[in-house]
Amino acid sequence: MAYYFLVFLPVVEGGYAIVSPDFPEITSQGDTLDECMTMGADALAIVSEEYAKARRPLPEPSNMAQARAFAASETDESVDPHREPVLQLIQAPNADMTPVKISISLPKADLEAIDAKARRLGMTRSGLLASAARVYPGGQGRGTSC
């Protein structure tokens, strides 16, 4: 598992802006540090999943000195000069996208319904089943096993 720094910049109007030295895709803002920590972890999970889907390797994580330099470079008139930026290491989820062949047994009518829905959505059978497993509400969360 890789750990990445997220930077929480205190903004003048209150709250924090969320940025990442390793993922330019991560930008958000929240009212409290706790809210921002949750939002940042969610954003890192989503970006990590998108990298895995695109078969892009995750970047090498920044070290503390690099994260501090990045935080300093992100300071502008919107950042409150009276409060220090907060740097937090966040664990990126393991998103192993190695294809695995499986065999399952289903009633023929269910398989036909799955195939029809996949065609309507422009997906493969495997893609539809994998997507359904990730969003099924009985699961433990995005990208984890049910």
Which residue ranges form the domains of the chain, and what is each CATH number? 3-91 (3.30.160.250), 99-146 (1.10.1220)
Read off the pLDDT of residues 105-127 as tens digits, 9 standing for 90 and up.
Answer: 999 999 999 999 999 999 899 88
Read off the pLDDT of residues 12-40 as tens digits, 9 standing for 90 and up.
Answer: 999 999 999 999 999 999 999 999 999 99
Return the closest-CA partner of residue 120 out of 128, 130, 132. 128
CB atoms within 10 A of CB 114: 15
Looking at per-residue pLDDT, the higher value among 75 and 15 belongs to 15
The answer to whether 97 touches 90, Cβ cutoff 8 Å, is no
Per-residue pLDDT at 10: 97
Alpha-carbon distance 35 to 27, whole Å? 14
Measure CA of the first residue to CA of the last residue in the chain; give whole Å: 20
Share of the chain above pLDDT 70, in %: 92
The answer to whether 27 touches 39, Cβ cutoff 8 Å, is no
